[in-house]
Every structure is written in structure tokens, then in C-alpha cells.
Amino acid sequence: MKRVNNALYKTTIVIGASKAKQVAWYLVNIIFLQNPLVASSGMKVFLLRLFGAKIGIGVVIKPSVNIKFPWKLIIGDHSWIGEKVWIDNLDQVTIGSSVCVSQGAFLLTGNHNFKKVSFDLITAPIVIEDGAWIGASATVCPGVTCGTHSVLSVASVASKNLASYFIYRGNPALQIGERVID
């Protein structure tokens, strides 16, 4: 049996910011975004934009949100990021307009190549298109696109693309119905 040798670990991640910017963001993220006592969505949006996020108008960011790298984040107009959402964006995350990312959801852009003893890091972008809804405690995996107005139900895991106007549930998420909007 081969054992993982962490000394061989390789990463090709491009962080895209200086060490000073990373440290400054780390502190701002802890104090203003992850802190459950800071309720001002407007201040969070301002700080995210200051660090390079592209955020539209009317975006709501609830308390206890964790965002790895704001310079790799785009959010369209009138979207909602719920309590305790974790955007682990080692790669680009694009969230469209009128999207709801419910409380405790996890957007994960990185994984490891478990077939290699060096356990190399693999990253891929996530796209959540306009009108999509990511349910509470759901996970969107690296490289996934959630089509326009798709729904990922509570605690489900999207490891493959979600088609537009369909509802998905489970782990792995399976299509269970069509989303009809009145």
C-alpha cells in the first residue's frame, strides 16, 4: 500500500494577490465578515469591493460569511449570501443576479488528486447562473455550473453541472423535478 507523503505535495494555485493584501484580507474577513455581530451588509459589500470583488447592486451578505479571496469573486445584482456561507474560492466563483445562496452552503473550488501519492491540489471555477437557489447546507463542488433558475436542495451535493430550471436533491445531487416559476 502506498502512503501519502505530504512532503511531495504540489500546488499550482495562483493566489493573485501580494502577501500584504492576503494578510489584510484575512484580518478584515475575520473582523467584518465572519463576525456574527457585524450586521451591515453595505459595509461588507464595500470591503469586498475594496479587495477586488465585483459586486452588483442590492446584494445582501448576512453575518458569519467566510470568503477566501474576494479578488476571485463576482456577484450580480440583488443576490443573497446567507449566514455561515463559506465561499472557498481558490479559483473564480461567479454568482449571477437574483441568486440565493442559503445559510451554511459551501462553494468549494478546490480538491486533491487522490490518485497521486503527492495529493496535488486541483482547482476549478464555479458558476451559479441568474435566479439559481443553493439550499441550506448544500455543497457546490469544483468546476460545477448551476444553470439559470436551478435549485440545489437542502444538504445536497452538486458534483456535476445542474441544468437550468430543474431541481436537484441528494448526494450526489440527482434531478428530481422541473422548476416552474409563476
Q: What is the pLDDT of residues 61-82, one digit of tens each?
A: 999 999 999 999 999 999 999 9
For the chain, give the percent of residues with pLDDT over 70. 96
Q: What is the pLDDT of residues 50-61, one digit of tens each?
A: 999 999 999 999
**pLDDT of amino acid 4:** 64
Q: Does the model's pTM come out above 0.85?
A: yes
For the chain, give the percent of residues with pLDDT over 90. 85
Domain parsing of the chain, residue ranges: 18-178
Q: Which residues of 47-62 are buried (b: 16+ CB within 10 A; e: fewer)?
A: bbeebebebbeebebb
**pLDDT of amino acid 21:** 98
Which residues neighbour 20 within 8 Å (Cβ) at sequence distance 6 or greater?
A: none
* Lowest mean pLDDT across 12-26, 49-63, 93-107, 153-167: 12-26
Q: Please classify residue 39 by burial: count the beta carbons closer than 10 Å to its beta carbon, then call 0-12 exposed, 13-18 middle and 19+ buried.
A: exposed
**Regarding the domain with residue range 18-178, which homologous superfamily does it belong to in the CATH classification?**
Hexapeptide repeat proteins (2.160.10.10)
**pLDDT of amino acid 120:** 85
Taking 70 as the threshold, does the pLDDT of residue 1 lie above it? no
Among the listed residues 143, 142, 180, the one whose alpha carbon sits nearest the alpha carbon of residue 164: 180
